[in-house]
Amino acid sequence: MDAGLFAQYVMNGLMLGMMYALVAVGFTLFFGVLDIIKFSHGDVLMVGAFTALATYIGLHALGIDSNWLNLVVMLVLATLAMALLGMAIARYLVMPLRSAPALNTLLITLMLGTVLRESVRLFYPQGANPKPFPALLPRSAIDIGEFNLRLDNVLMLCAGVLVIVGLQFLLNRTKLGLAIRAVAQDEETARIMGINFTAIVLITFAMGSGLAAFAGVMNGLYYNEINFGIGLYLGVIGFSAAIIGGLGSIYGAILGGFLFAGLQTAGTVMLPFASAYKDVFAFAVVIAIMAWRPTGLIREKISERV
């Protein structure tokens, strides 16, 4: 294959992988602290993207035209709004179901996802239509043969890497991170050690949901189009990515995200007769991985309680 074309595929795969990884990291965070799957994660991402878009429209109406300023305000507002939403979800939907089977949490967050999706569709002005998302990053591009390297893509990749590194730092090098990891490892012992369990759960949900908002904005900037349905698909893929990586491990989620994107891209390149089968291929590989490594590629450290 032409090298330029190959580079283009790699770039496409990296961008996709970064988005999946960001979503998957959210799943893994929630699972870490509470052992639950929060399925509304993808829809929170979508709401985050719409919040950013609404902010942009608002700023635009105020006559603020600086792209960078707009972007920063959008990111801050969307992240904060989603962090609040995440905390509200944790407080009013997830925590009350602590004693119920895990499946109930999955279902209630799934229904919440439907509520969010339908609400945007119904209550955002013309919410059923695809919405243009402004391209706020510099769009200059270099053509290297068949490869079209765009500055905005590079910036987004860097930003994604920075966020993940930052999160990693937060979890491993700060007191808050220590508390989160303690709760993740053993809730009761953590409580005994004087960690405010509820606060830690709320903070984790705020972080995960803020991350979703970031991924949502990135999704918008990358595709320049958002619609109310983007969350469902990204949510399911992010979930699968988190699982094949190994729940509870940030590295696993990142690995899973890029692996999934790689599978989809490879599916298109290697199955030239049927690029439509790329998702079939990707999911089949997921099932095979689960058969091979039943607790994910990076194994969750659990011991069988007898």
Between 114 and 168, CB nearer to other proteins: 114
Q: Which is nearer to other proteins, 29 or 247 (CB)?
A: 247
| Residue 209 vs 240, nearer CB to other proteins | 240
Q: Which is nearer to other proteins, 10 or 195 (CB)?
A: 10
List 142's β-bridge partners, or say none.
149
Least distance between other proteins and beta carbon 173 (Å): 28
41 or 179: CB nearest other proteins: 41
Q: How far apart are CA 59 and CA 173, in angstroms?
A: 37
* In the complex, minimum distance from the CB of residue 165 to other proteins, in angstroms, rounded to a whole number: 25
CB of 192 to other proteins, least distance (A): 26
Backbone angles phi, psi at 62, to 5 degrees: -80, -5
User: What pairing do the DSSP bridges indicate for beta strands 131-132 and 141-144?
Assistant: unpaired
Contacts (Cβ under 8 Å, ≥6 apart) of 235? 23, 39, 40, 41, 42, 43, 45, 113
User: Least Å distance between CB 67 and other proteins?
Assistant: 15
User: How would you class 28 by CB atoms within 10 Å of its CB: exposed for 0-12, middle for 13-18, buried for 19 or more?
Assistant: buried
Kindly state the tokens that stand for 23.
Answer: 């979503």
Angle between helical axes of 67-89 and 41-61 (0-180°, round to 10): 140
Q: Tell me the closest approach of the beta carbon of residue 266 to other proteins, in angstroms.
A: 10
Whole-number minimum distance, CB 289 to other proteins, in Å?
9
Question: What tokens were used for 292?
Answer: 């091979």
The residues, ordered by sequence, that sit 6+ positions from 109 with a Cβ below 8 Å of its Cβ are 36, 37, 38, 39, 40, 41, 89, 93, 94
Tell me whether residue 62 or residue 291 sits nearer to other proteins (CB atom): 291
